[in-house]
Structure 1
Amino acid sequence: MSHGSSPAAWTAVLVSLAGFLIGGIALIPEPNWVLFTIGVVLAVGALPLGKVMSVAGYGTSRVKDH
């Protein structure tokens, strides 16, 4: 069983983490709202990106191996 360990899942997680990191850094010294918005778009856009990659064949199959 792979537990979702696929290129689609890893890409979605890494893009989401990058978005949170960019958004968080943008708020530290003096709020940079443009950079914060870029971070939010990345973090939210990671979900559809993972879904598209999964549909394209980079996800795990849902067939259970017994």
Structure 2
Amino acid sequence: MPIIVNVDVMMARRKMSLTELSERVGITLANLSVLKTGKAKAIRFSTLEAICKVLECQPGDILEFVAE
């Protein structure tokens, strides 16, 4: 898949666990895990916005396009 999700990289930089991010963003651990592993087919802008607020980053820090 040409879109790479770097949530785990940003979490590591902020020294934040998956559980903490899940609680602060307001989404389930299961849904956050699907996003983190790159298995998600879509993400709502409201979810992306919440993740960016909590991790203090830009959407481009989380999502990356890599040509196949």
TM over 0.5: no
- Name whichever structure is richer in helix by fraction: 1
TM-score, structure 1 normalization: 0.31
Question: 1 or 2 for the larger relative contact order (CA 8 Å, sep ≥6)?
Answer: 2
